[in-house]
Structure 1
């Protein structure tokens, strides 16, 4: 879908850069053509521009229009499947290699924010909150697992310590990750776009790609122009339609819903989140929340399979918010929006090449803020001739959903129902 209007979200209402870039007109040449101006595309473009490549980015709508500009804004380490799962499924060697990269995405974000002075309300600290004793046991195991991979900036919080960090009686314990954090994602992605342009890169909005002409020098076509290049990077993720049909069979767009309250008083902010950390709980269909730079509470959660947009977002999310923070009863909700992320069957990212010079990366399965930035760095390495780290991801099996496009939504919804029941029963 091509549109010059962002969804009505808190992020869109508080952006630092309101410019609209021109659409692609005429024929161009570049070293790299990146399809999609979200985190994956712009991280790739920026890392390549820093290496001296001539980069053109084509965006069907606006910079950050998809998940990159709508998400919860939380810097969460690792992948949607952790290293113990990866080791069990693919062997210790693969687990070690992926574990060595699992905490790098946050470093990439902080480096870019610092180097290019991006104003995106970056704040430190994130919390995983356990809703039952089983989940707290799992957090203790997560701490040991992550520490075995060298990530030691972690603190366990027991039931009596949690209220010092979260003003809720809902949790039995938590894991505080001091190197995690949160930010304004749309301002981050817009800042990254400015960084790309400062290095000579070109970004065209409202320039949906209609086809990719393969060859030794592929050509990327839009309605009114083309880009002939040496490499293509396809980074449309959940908003990619028709360009890579085989890859689309291996993933499913899913929606998540987010609300943002009116500004809260300083005393309310201190009561809810005394240390201004972001939080996500440990349920399968998890809740996540944080304070914005101007003192509002962003609260999100829920999943709609197949990227359907629910009629009334507030009716889905406000009851969860009040379950966590009953003291917010009567608080006005100023913004409510939804956005799509891309789920894979194994809940691990899918990287690959087509004919050696068309790259793709997709399917972060809810861990996109950090994984996309890591992806851009290692894709930049691969295009520059250092493909060892890219090949670790590209070597993971990529399975289509059982039953194809027709059955993947009901199958996944049934699985979600099962895990939600387990969450409620604490088993």
Structure 2
């Protein structure tokens, strides 16, 4: 698996100053040991520490190194799966409870930004844009589904109304919603870390786990130290890999890539997305884009499944941006970067427990900014004996990715087929 260089990231270039944290050395004890200093781990640690527990986070790189510091910044509503599918498979009671969790996730992000004074360019508003007639029907079904669950206020935009919102001729319709939005994801992550530190959490960076004990005596072992705890939280997501085979077999690391243009200026930026919303298209292989706080176009997509980084990231993503916004042909690309997200076979988050004392959450499948924060909170609640929402999320059982050692080439071939379907639909 390629190790992407995050120094090219716009987020890293514009990150707020943050303290470095020591490497783990020797043996320490805590109530809870957390593996991973991204959204899931920080969210769980913050909740637990504020409840009075001693918490230690062990991070292989630095705070926000993985998807939490590299993603598109979109605060998504719901799951990467329709509520109708969830309802048909698990029944109305579970579907309603799952919806309530997803509905609370963006709100939790907003509440934390306000509570802890996190400066991360928060903007509310989200659009799901469709290029094809089939996408328009999908958007209408989604809107009806949201109405059924009490999520009101969305608007289906077409014609002149759509052109007023998105300066592109590519889309036939877009579903606008008030509850999603976008942030500077790394600055949000660093703000969570600061809140966790103030609550008493200890963070150790550059401390890669070489062994995990998931029995009745949980422990995280690194090359130079070990954390022993009453409970453990595994929050490595796509970067956990072979450290925990049970989880790794149920997760596929997928490369996702983003470019950032030079600053466009207020007027030109407003001509692209007039309301400063985040936008995602409806194709299986998605494009996602938004404006940054300093009015750059941040455009992502063109996922890869091979584990290899494209030779030219800018050349890989820029054609997709020009497909949507040909008027940006003259604009310079100043930042290019990539990283891994974790997807599951059925695109629902994988939440559960190994034994009686090790909890985990992974596989947000492109909806991680909001859901990882919520699932981290749910893990913390479960450790404290409040397991109602944990029980809901753990009902979603996750099969192993098929193909064994051949799963990566098989998935790559499958995604090639979906690209063809997107083109022909």
Q: Tell me the TM-score normalized by structure 2.
A: 0.97
- 8 Å contact 1:235–1:360 — kept in the other structure? yes
Provide the residue aligned with 1:72 in structure 2: 72
SS state at 1:145 partner: helix
1:15-70 Cα deviation digits (max 9, x unpaired): 01243211112211111110000011111111111211111111000111001100
Provide the residue aligned with 1:8 in structure 2: 8
Distance 1:298 1:144, change over 3 A: same
- 8 Å contact 1:260–1:334 — kept in the other structure? yes
Q: Distance in 2 between matches of 1:215 and 1:91?
A: 33
Give the stretch that moved more between structures: 61-70 or 151-160.
Answer: 151-160
Provide the residue aligned with 1:144 in structure 2: 144
Provide the residue aligned with 1:421 in structure 2: 420
Provide the residue aligned with 1:194 in structure 2: 194
Give the stretch that moved more between structures: 19-28 or 54-63.
Answer: 19-28
Provide the residue aligned with 2:276 in structure 1: 276
Q: Distance in 1 between matches of 2:356 and 2:2?
A: 29
- 8 Å contact 1:29–1:228 — kept in the other structure? yes
SS state at 2:98 partner: helix
Q: How far 1:13 sits from its partner (Å)?
A: 0.3
Q: How far 1:371 sits from its partner (Å)?
A: 0.9
Q: Distance in 1 between matches of 2:42 and 2:5?
A: 20
Q: Distance in 2 between matches of 1:90 and 1:278?
A: 31
1:300-351 Cα deviation digits (max 9, x unpaired): 0011104321111111211111111111112100000111011111111111
Give the stretch that moved more between structures: 153-162 or 254-263.
Answer: 153-162
Provide the residue aligned with 1:221 in structure 2: 221
- 8 Å contact 1:35–1:58 — kept in the other structure? yes
Q: How far 1:398 sits from its partner (Å)?
A: 1.4
Q: How far 1:416 sits from its partner (Å)?
A: 2.1
- 8 Å contact 1:2–1:206 — kept in the other structure? no
Q: How far 1:6 sits from its partner (Å)?
A: 4.0
SS state at 2:347 partner: coil
Matched, 1:334 2:334: yes
Q: How far 1:407 sits from its partner (Å)?
A: 2.4
- 8 Å contact 1:68–1:369 — kept in the other structure? yes
Provide the residue aligned with 2:118 in structure 1: 118
Q: How far 1:158 sits from its partner (Å)?
A: 1.3
Q: Distance in 1 between matches of 2:256 and 2:67?
A: 10
Q: Distance in 2 between matches of 1:135 and 1:2?
A: 34
Q: How far 1:220 sits from its partner (Å)?
A: 1.6
Provide the residue aligned with 1:371 in structure 2: 371
Provide the residue aligned with 1:246 in structure 2: 246
SS state at 2:323 partner: helix
Gaps of 5+ in 1: none
Provide the residue aligned with 1:304 in structure 2: 304
Q: How far 1:374 sits from its partner (Å)?
A: 1.1
SS state at 2:271 partner: helix
Provide the residue aligned with 2:165 in structure 1: 165
Provide the residue aligned with 2:24 in structure 1: 24
Q: Distance in 2 between matches of 1:63 and 1:249?
A: 25
- 8 Å contact 1:4–1:61 — kept in the other structure? no
Give the stretch that moved more between structures: 104-113 or 305-314.
Answer: 305-314
Aligned length: 425
SS state at 1:103 partner: helix
Q: How far 1:410 sits from its partner (Å)?
A: 2.8
Gaps of 5+ in 2: none
Q: Tell me the TM-score normalized by structure 1.
A: 0.96
Q: Distance in 1 between matches of 2:329 and 2:308?
A: 28
Distance 1:170 1:2, change over 3 A: closer
SS state at 2:7 partner: coil
SS state at 1:226 partner: strand
Q: How far 1:274 sits from its partner (Å)?
A: 1.1
